[in-house]
A and B are shown apart, each in its own frame.
Chain A
Amino acid sequence: DTAVSQTPKYLVTQMGNDKSIKCEQNLGHDTMYWYKQDSKKFLKIMFSYNNKELIINETVPNRFSPKSPDKAHLNLHINSLELGDSAVYFCASSGLAHSGANVLTFGAGSRLTVL
């Protein structure tokens, strides 16, 4: 019944490796996001897709590549991992409330640790 589910929950890997995080939502939302939460808990948007099309691409290194095979899925692939990539990555999806507001629903997060 989980609305936004992401896997894996934990990732521990060596510098230089490549890793992927997968996300799926069953809310019927058209828009999905990746947010990064650093060690100080600051939440920063990385990417946003609307109906499989990239609509927001913040200043993120090219080593990060999102892919949306359909509007219910948004994956994040990270090449050549660096120590500074260690963070919690949150997937989210959004739909319009009756008020017209953009309500985000977050997944439980994927904690990436780069050694």
Chain B
Amino acid sequence: EPEVTQTPSHQVTQMGQEVILRCVPISNHLYFYWYRQILGQKVEFLVSFYNNEISEKSEIFDDQFSVERPDGSNFTLKIRSTKLEDSAMYFCASILPGQVRADTQYFGPGTRLTVL
């Protein structure tokens, strides 16, 4: 079964540095999402993306965050100037509308971001 993939699996960075987290959604999926999970806490929605633009974003997704689909396969999340509180597991998800299981969001394995 096709899977969502994410790279890297673990990213360590210094506070103030920029990071780019990469995701390859399932190939024919059309909606893409980023979520994050701070250690020990619930999974939180960050942003959704459709037709090359942001569909919805949460309060967490401030000006320090941006998303891009630079080509037909990758979906990236950029954090411009990382803060300690950005340390979390970041999950990418994708969905294929119009199919029997259209509501099912398929999640990638996550990128663990550690900000020092």
Do the two chains belong together in a single complex? no
Seen from chain B, the residues whose Cβ lies within 8 Å of a Cβ on chain A are: none
Seen from chain A, the residues whose Cβ lies within 8 Å of a Cβ on chain B are: none
